[in-house]
Structure 1
């Protein structure tokens, strides 16, 4: 994917429709399935609050020259193994998968997170059974730390890979 054909735009109220397109059985198969309308609206509000609260940012992924929203990528603070880190996640709509869009968007979001550098590390926790998301981590420059038990969504344990990328030149 030519990165010049992709841009990230901060999440806005307009993106609720995109979130609904992401909230399907196929798109959410590795993270517990589709959410109820109520839970999806809570997620949407959380995405809107990330920047004002200073704890992260969610973006819509837009392809040029069509100016078409094809997915989402973002990061937010979380506690992980006694430290505050950023956690990243992404979604690319089915008609656009397999073209390198998720990896290009993840690289762009890592650069955006590094500009704020509130925390030295950004992690991603894809299911061990999701080869495409693990490939995104590899292609986006993350280092595999190993397998871990991870809770996502809340109340659901899953076996995940712990991938990490440094956001600062000298992470502690």
Structure 2
């Protein structure tokens, strides 16, 4: 597995990741307009070199097939500037450890920015797979909170934190 910067050509991957079973814990599938807007945000974030974050496609080796997405971006958490992360792996590629491997790679990319101390993840309390990724990668579970995502939809999330200054 390797990470490659998100690009204009990745819209099809984002559409594939918008499947109901993959969006179950995120408020359901987005409209085409929302997918296009997300894609443009991902492209812009990947082109920005100011430490605000990056988005990536997850590429399966050796064949080079795009199987998901991940990244990190600036966010505010409890009055503190942090990075936030998230990921998604297409259904037929789940269960192979790709999300954990991609998240470990994102941790290293965020750490290299030396911009924020903490990397946060907010998976739904009901998303066992994403919570397992956080555990495997070494995030610390801080507790539960209500999180608005997408806008207008409140979900109960676990707050996971990883100290980027710790080695």
2:77 is aligned with 1:80:
yes
Q: Deviations over 1:133-169 (max 9, x none)?
A: 1001011111101111111111211100000101124
Q: Which consecutive residues of structure 1, in runs of 5 or more, have no partner in the other structure?
A: 1-5
Aligned twin of 1:26 = 21
What's the C-alpha RMSD, in Å, of the aligned pairs? 1.2
Deviations 1:82-141 (A, max 9, x none): 011111000000111011110010000110110002100000000001101100101111
Distance 1:37 1:96 in 2: 24
Select the residue among 107, 111, 126 that pairs with 2:123.
Answer: 126
Aligned to 1:49: 44
Which consecutive segments of 4 or more residues in structure 1 shift more than 2 A?
none
User: 1:19, CA displacement in angstroms?
Assistant: 0.2
Give unpaired runs (5+ residues) of structure 2.
none
Matches of residues 41-120 of structure 1 in structure 2 within 5 Å? 41-51=36-46, 52=48, 54=50, 55-120=52-117
What corresponds to 2:155 in structure 1?
158
Query: Secondary structure, in 3 states, of the residue corresponding to 2:20?
Result: coil
Structure 1 residue 53 displacement after superposition = 6.3
For the pair 1:14 / 2:9, whether they are aligned, the reply is yes
CA separation in 1, counterparts of 2:49 and 2:38?
A: 15
TM-score w.r.t. length of structure 2: 0.96
CA–CA distance in 2 between the matches of 1:53 and 1:115? Answer: 12
Residues 30-78 of structure 1, C-alpha deviations (whole Å, 9 max, x = no match)? 0011111111111001111114163111100001111111101111111
Under a length normalisation based on structure 1, what TM-score does the superposition of the two structures give? 0.93
CA distance in 1, matches of 2:36, 2:49: 18
- SS of alignment partner, residue 124 of structure 2: coil
1:107 and 1:141 in contact (8 A); partners too: no
User: How many equivalent residue pairs?
Assistant: 165
Tell me if the contact between 1:141 and 1:165 (Cα under 8 Å) persists in the aligned partners: yes
